[in-house]
Chains A and B, each alone.
Chain A
Amino acid sequence: MSFALPGLLWQLLFFVFPMMFLIALSFWLVKNYRMVPGFESVNWVKMYTRGYFWDAYFYTLMLAAISTVVTSILAFPCAYALAFKASPTVRRWAMFLLIIPFFTSYLVRAYSWQIFLGNEGIFNGLFSVFGFGPYKMLHTMFGTMVGYLTLCLPLVVVLQLLSLANVDKNLVEAAWNLGCGRVRTIFQVIVPLAKVGLVVAATFCFILSFGDFVSPYYLGGSKPPTLSILIIDTTKSGQQWPRAAVVAITMIVTLMIVAFSAVTYAYARRTRQ
């Protein structure tokens, strides 16, 4: 049981307090631009009765869900190819290449996409050669999605790859030998075997997209704002961190529910087969 200790101690020391602070903060008041400790429900009432809060909430949920589905689907063929078609050397290099982007700031990468997506950007330049466009891509939901993909795709491919690489090749082989088609093998053998990893990857993708403010801000033009942008906006109204805390707690609870359902689903015992 001593293995439980390091994590427990660290999180108790350095995470539980900030969380408690956050919860307490949501009941504080702001007077003359200073946060005053207190116990008032006004922040909760105020945020929860605002239409824009719920608009932002459902919009963010939707964006994160789309991002999760799109990223998972786009990542899978890549992870599949690397897991089943590539040599171990190629796979290892691919893995490192996928982790490399993290070492070039996400901010820089998001900023870079502006050059591609702008009205007079690289993509529209290319389109105009063929007589198309210009298409509005920057400051749209499409822009936000490109940003989310930039953030999540490498991570999701890595996590999917980790789980696909451990799928027992003998089982796949057996399915083939029994005359199972390639597509059927993927969906009926490989995906169920790698379910845990695929779900974990999707969950991280959802969490990252849900909380990210860089993409909806720099590539989506904050139109409409997501919850993380709402947090930043709220703090700009004269130290309204308590109200930002309300938004934050709502986000945490939502993500907790999503994450726990996902993990429960992922690790649920397979009853069939």
Chain B
Amino acid sequence: MSDRSRASDSAISTWFLRLYVLVVFAFVFAPIIASFVFSFNSDRFPTIPLGSFTTKWYETIFADTDVWDAFARSLTVAAITAVISTTIGFCTAYTDFRYRFRGKGFYLGLALLPPTVPLVIMGLAMLALLSRINMSGQVYSIVISHVVLCSPFAMAICRLRLSQMDPSLEAAAWNLGASQWQAMKTVIIPFCKPAIIAALCLTAAVSFDEFAVAWFVSGLNKTIPVMILEILQGNVDPQINAIGSFVFAISISLVVVAQILVMTRDDKGRKS
């Protein structure tokens, strides 16, 4: 089927599309690659032509235990945030998909509003709350704020997937005697699996990269983006590039490992 469609496609447009995809990826990765190159540059400020090759920026950050701490903290926060906000996002999306009730508008507003709040002011407002209930300046303070910010993304992705589902599918499962939980487990969640995985990845990514709110609520528990923000605002040296590249290298290896795990699992699943 897809063979036929491909055959009817002219070769030129296929090549054009391939080239286009490459250009988009080049655009996305250009700043990352440049950052990597300049992380080995001896000059403090990036200009062309390059200065000499140096590893001193990496030596600086590797000697700095704060960077390691911040990295571990960022990963922890991102992972926990991803799980909680995807759970919340999925539940909210399902509620919207399945039920009609009084106050639904308000409920959805509450669920989707957070990304519209400017982050700088959101940071101060979150700090105002958390410090009053004695929960500020902790790692979990960042998680709390990030879940607020991220669950709308998860909700949007899950809702998108649910809207592609035939609502009668679930009803059919009920008619066959499945409880709501069983129907959820055997019909809805498997159907939403790609969306759930995407939501997990995306919320982790958003949390991992957030600095404005984290600066306020984290107290002295810095995450990587907060650290970068502070260097960028008050110092500016290739430590920024070194941290960025280092974090990039680790995250891409994690992704590759995760990919391989998922693939082997899929293969096994297919075989058994």
A residues adjacent to B (C-beta < 8 A) = 1, 3-8, 10-12, 14-19, 21-22, 25, 74-75, 77-78, 80-82, 84-85, 92-116, 118, 120-122, 125, 149-150, 153-155, 157-159, 162-163, 166, 169, 172-173, 176, 182, 196-197, 200, 204, 207-208, 211, 213, 227-228, 231-232, 235, 241, 244-245, 247-248, 251-252, 255-256, 259-260, 263, 267
Contact = CB atoms under 8 A, between A and B. Distances in A.
A112 B35 contact: yes
Nearest to A207: B115
B155 A14 contact: no
A228 B13 contact: no
Contacts of B189: none
A80 B122 CA distance: 36
Contact of A251 (B4, B118, B155, B244): B118
B187 interface: no
Contacts of A8: 107, 110
A33 B161 CA distance: 50
Contact of B244 (A105, A125, A256): A105
Contact of B14 (A22, A82, A85, A122): A85
Given A15-B148, A81-B20, 14 more contacts: A3-B98, A11-B111, A19-B113, A21-B128, A99-B201, A99-B255, A102-B205, A102-B208, A111-B35, A111-B232, A112-B30, A116-B31, A162-B161, A211-B115
B259 A115 contact: no
B5 A18 contact: no
Contact of A103 (B29, B35, B205): B205
B224 A166 contact: no
Interface in B92-130: 92, 94-95, 98-99, 101, 107, 109-122, 124-126, 128-129
Most central of A6, A158, A228 by chain B CB within 10 Å: A6
A125 B48 CA distance: 8
Interface of B: 1-2, 4-6, 8-9, 13-14, 17-18, 20-21, 24-25, 27-32, 34-35, 38, 46-48, 84, 87-89, 91-92, 94-95, 98-99, 101, 107, 109-122, 124-126, 128-129, 144-145, 147-148, 151, 153, 155-157, 160-161, 163-164, 194-195, 198, 201-202, 205-206, 208-209, 211, 224-225, 228-229, 232, 240-241, 243-245, 247-248, 251-252, 255, 259
Given A4-B99, A6-B88, A162-B157, A115 B48 contact: yes
A95 B198 contact: yes
